Structure 1
Amino acid sequence: MHRLSRRSVNSILHYGTHRRRAVASVSVYSLTINEMGGGEKNCDDVRWHSTTAKCSKTLKLGRMMIPSWNRYESTGSKFQTTESTVVVPVEKYEYEAEVSRLMDHVANRVYSNKELFLRELISNASDALDKLRFLSVTEPQILEGAPELDIRIQTDQDNGIITLTDSGIGMTHDELVDSLGTIAHNGTAAKFLEALNDSKDAAAGSDSNLIGQFGLGFYSAFLVADKVVVSTKSPKSDKQYVWEGEANSNSYVVREETDPDKFIPRGTSIKLHLKRDDKGFAHPDIINRLIKIHSQVVSFPIYTWQEKGYTKHVILNLLIKRRSKKIVNESQPIWLRNPKEVTREEYNEFYKKAFSENFEPLASSHFTTTEDEVELRSILYLPAMEEYFFDDIETNNIRLYEKNLFISSDFDREMLPDYIRFVKGVVDSNDFPLILLREIFQESPIVRIMRKRLAHQALDMILLLSKGENRKDYEKFWKKFGVFLMLGCIEDGENHKRLAPLLRFNFSNNSKAVETMMSLDEYVENMKPGQEDIYYMSVVNALSGVFVPFILENDFQVLLVVDTIDEVALTNLKSYKGKNFVDVKKVAKKIVPSRADLS
């Protein structure tokens, strides 16, 4: 079955299916030699010209031979003729209709979770690095000049600029135009807009998520930026190209990079000129926080620069900012590692970081499975602290990842039955539905397979804890979460066989209550010869003493049920290992009077 990958690299790496459309003859930026060579280089200080030009000579600039043009302007031009200027050909294009609609929507709609722009751009950078790494297996020479594969993010708080650079595959001129001016799959933007309008969860944050799910991640930059500049160098080309686009514009320009100071050996650099209200994103601490939330486990190192104070330059009498580079993410997700190579300390440390917990978990379960062609990688945890939640309160205990990228934590109820929503963990799969909407998750047969597998794994994890050497660990767990497992016996008939061994009960022995809790397995092992049933009674009846004669005469152990839910759970289970659950109240009324008559 053909599926469009959410983290599609079509927007950055692949060739589009539409040819670009130039809307005018090639225009030119007029840049003076001083601007191109020495002194300050300001590529934004440009002049548009539609006049004809004649080449007079060629200048050598950096590694490029650039023609020098004499310009002929009308006397009505407000610009004066500059002799011997260097011009850089600039191509202007219109966005395809689909892209134009998308750009307008992204630029002008108020999204509830703008911070996802960074996740999408890092995802694209990671895809570009993945492609380069794959190609380097057969073409090792493409790594020459820049063997390190990484992502670097720099911020300029003063000017509200974020620059994200990867050393990935980069783009040629045609790839740049085809990727950022068109959408490779017809109707993709239209489907995105339709899904967004139809989404009932748009106010809850799913609006921003949809951009990445439709392979439109690059355009998420316009959630926070009013201008985006992309500079890219492909190993397949000896030239570096620049793409510039602005929000609320139906066109973009592409030109060759001619400033040696801006040359990169390979890869792509994206510079975001942030909107006035979004300049706070340029703070290094915010960037680091977003990386830890959304891109912590990207498989390539992500570097950021942190300000470390100022150094005074004595001669110039200036204060110079000191910055240090540091890696922010982990190179490999813990759930992709071999469980045999991960220590318990590493599992516990990841749990505390991922879920902001102070206490270590009671247990963990790390597994990879392929069931019914659905691949799943996960780590589940049993928390040490009690989580109070009710049917109308949403939890965010299950974090969903795809290709190492965090995509959502809003689908606990779809991934696990309600009665074990206290379980926390991460789930990584490439088979999640394309659109992250609750209705789609609920109807997805793939998600149902995942839910079943996760429930089995969670219950098996609890069973292992119950069989551990330290009996008190499980008793502590039972006091906190036992009521939810009783609820599972009522709601989840398919998992009765997995739930029953987990149940614990106080019990009476010779009419005396015992503080130690008993499992159903222990009860069955201690049954008297000839005893056919498992007896239970409510604590209220036990305290009343009405049925003490029956217990004494038969010398049966009796399970004590504290709450009504316990009794209903046993009624739903009906039996365990061929032994029926029987309420003492029902049999004692028949047996005790008859014995009294005999006396």
Structure 2
Amino acid sequence: MRLFRALSLSFTVLAATLPAIAQDGAHKHTYQSDVARLRKIVINSLYSHRDVFLRELISNANDAIEKLRLTSLTEPMVLSGAESMNITLRAFKEEDGTTKLVVRDTGIGMTPDELRANLGTLAKSGTSEFLARAEKTDTTGTGNLIGAFGLGFYSSFLVADKVYVASIAAKTPANPEPVQYVFASSADDSTFEVYPDPRGNTLGRGTEITMVLKEDALEYTDTVKVTELVNKHSSFATQFPIYLFTERTEEVPIEEETPAEKPVKESDEEAEDEAVVEDVTDEVEEKPKQTQTVTVEEWVHLNSQPPIWMRDPKTVTDEEYELFYQSTFKDYEKPLGWAHFSGDSGSGTAFKAILYIPSKLDDSFWQSQQTAADIRLMVKRVFITSDLGEDALPKWASWVKVVVDAEDLPLNVSRELLQNTRFLRQLKSIIVKRLIQTLTKMAERAAQKDDEEDELAWWRVSQVFNNALKLGAVEDGKNKEKIAPLVRLPTNQRKDTSLDEYVENRKKGQKQIFYLADMGKSPEVLAKSVFVEKLNARGYEVLLLGQPLDEIFVQNLRIWKKLPFQDVAKSGLKFGDEDQDPEDEKEQQQELAETYKPLLDWFKKETQGAVRNVVISNRLVTSPCAIVADTYGYTANMEKMLNAQNQGSDAKTVMHDYAKKMKVLEINPRSPLIEGLLKRVAQLPAEDEERDIEAEDELREVTSVLIDGALVRSGFEVPDSSEFFARMDRILRRSLGVSETAPTDDTVRPAPPVDPSPPADDEFAFDDTHLPLDPELLGLKVGEPVLETQEAPQVLFEVEEVEDVVAAAEESVPEVEEVVVEEPVPEVEEVTFEEEEAEEKHAHDEL
């Protein structure tokens, strides 16, 4: 009751003495340029979704109270001035007809400097992003830009013509006697005022935002409307109570006055012994009681329901889960999934928790070694920390968002001591386990194809967090067998598949999981690679790995469901049905080997040092040849990764060079090009006396071009690109009938001779005569707001400021009458070269 009386008294004083803007001692300030633009965008572009203003103001109030609570742990003095921590809402009508809505908190409060800094200027990194996004697109009606960029206070101008912010900072040793100040501004004004509150220190502590509502915003004085908005957006946004002032009428009976009874006196003592006899009469009918109408004022507790994580999951709706997530984690998109659970850490600490799968991954996830900052740890409904230090979730799972409420941890321990408790180490393992279980259930529901929403949710999870899950399978050795089935990989037959699905759909006799990795290549490009020609033709499924983590992921697993992974870009490709080949096909392979032996020997002689072996291919269909890595050699993708890691480093080991040379040239005996090459090699004379040097050189050049082409086709780099293109140039000349020795006109005008003289002082001076100093030439109009101009809007304000300063300076300088004074020209003293040099040396020594 004492709380309600205090609140009523405070608002009574407020209603009677709320000041106007014009006050003695008021200082008028101009909004920072970005703030002016932001206010205009907020008011004009987001007008149709102005309900968000109340959510943002309550969120700011919660932050102020939370800051007070944390500060009080080290400075208990800040709690003086107000008894409780709460947020109050009240709407009322002044005598002059204006309607006002007041949002008040008993938080940390603000000093005059903080009022100017927090409400009149911006120093946020997201400001430029917001301006660019809002000015480039039509944001009318989107309703999700406010709050996403920290613009909570400015949303008040969506419903108010004028806004007054009264605030008094909490008492501290540095500020033991704070003074209450008022920030005042209008929706259409480019200035604001900050002045001492003429009412005095009425708040005790905290901040009070008074909004003079617009004519079309009077609906926010309706308590039903305000209650609806709070329940929808803010009932879970704060752990502090939210009170709404309400008035209702009641019919109460009028109490009738009863006549006083007359005392009975006995004159005779014997009267005490006499029996009293009363006559029984008929009962008198009671008259209807009179009533009167009275107005009952009360503060209604809007968020009195228990926290959502304390409730039975069966009683919580999907909408409540989504609203709680959005208000708690300041995410204006719905989560993709969640898990509501309770448990015991194993050390005797019971807890309840809600785990959420967000709809997006932070842009900084891959750029920084961040730890999870969205694990909200509470003890008995009191927020403790979101920084778990060494016990934070691993990098791959740091994107998950969790609220944990423990029952038995002491509240008076320091954060450093809390980080070292056994409970936090166990909690980390529990959250990771529950995350994997939640994702697994989402994948299973999507695989059943019973609900389109489940399929869409899992599809979005696989699109957003697929690479993070690959990282988890690589880093988390304990859980990699559980994480790997969640990873989705594209194939030559499907857009994506899991490893389990791949194994289920393998061909009869297939004993390997085929994959092709080439970082940066799309699945469509990889599907056309020379390495998968035979696999495509025979209907085998191949994993197409184009992401940086893909090959590391499969190599870390090595085996899945007893099937080893086989890189089809390496030698040793087996289909699994070789034992079932008919005898005539085996005989045909033997005949091909004998037929092409001269060509194989020719290639081996011409590729000494470049490849380890030359063989007939069983993987090529249309391509004439390909370069594959030997069993222990580097594939083209692995070479790219190693070169990127060792760029600029001279640490080239013998094993590194050896692995790079472990390549095998495979030729396609069914290719017309290879057949023609075989005929040319067979025509070469066996005796040295009959050798045709010119024909051999031409054949050798064709062979080199063919091998270089195979390197490029297989993803490797050509050792000498200049020589490669020179050979191509000679072949093109021959095909066009152009002489190979015909020179190119390479006449080039030489550079001027060397100039030994030093450059002149003004030779490299910056010429700024071409710069448009007039802002009109920049496409800017001085004095008009820049809302649609996107290029360098700050220049406009700088130009205006410079012009104002110049104009003021010109007005303040009096005109000076020109006076000509004739002075005798001094004689020039003749100085010799030696004297001048001596003076320069002396000046240099002085400097």
Structure number with the higher strand fraction is 1
Higher relative contact order (CA 8 A, sep 6+): 1
Larger radius of gyration: 2
TM-score norm. by structure 2 comes to: 0.36
